Amino acid sequence: MQVDSADFDTITTPLPTDWVMRVVIHGSGLVFGATPMLARVGSQAVQGLMPTLEEGVVLGFLTTVPTDGDELRIGYANGEDLASTGITYSAPDA
């Protein structure tokens, strides 16, 4: 599994969930199967992870805005630690 980039987009239209931010993960080898995919940004779990129609793109959501420098980690629910991606959240310039 290789993660090339991630986009962090604030959700501006209220949703019937607690989600406040969308995370779009771009890479290769992002396989959905019997073992669920997991991701975290800092200590926060990415919720609702799902593949998109575009190959190599995964979508998920956060319930709080991450802290600058929080790292995206990704893997599978197979008992192994989530892998470091080297990708960190950076708040947009105001």
Query: What is the pLDDT of the chain when averaged over all its residues?
Result: 92
Show the domain range for 45: 2-81
Residues 2-15: tens digit of each pLDDT: 999 999 999 988 77
pLDDT of residue 16: 78
Residues 32-73: tens digit of each pLDDT: 887 899 999 999 999 999 999 999 999 999 999 999 999 999
**Strands lying side by side in the sheet with 21-28:** 2-10, 21-28, 57-62, 47-51
Structural domain count of the chain: 1
pLDDT of residue 94: 55
Whether pTM exceeds 0.85: yes
What span, in angstroms and rounded, lies between the C-alpha atoms of 88 and 68? 7
- Any idea what DSSP says for residue 94? -
User: 16 in a domain, yes or no?
Assistant: yes
User: 91 in a domain, yes or no?
Assistant: no
Phi/psi at 26 (5° precision) = -115, 130
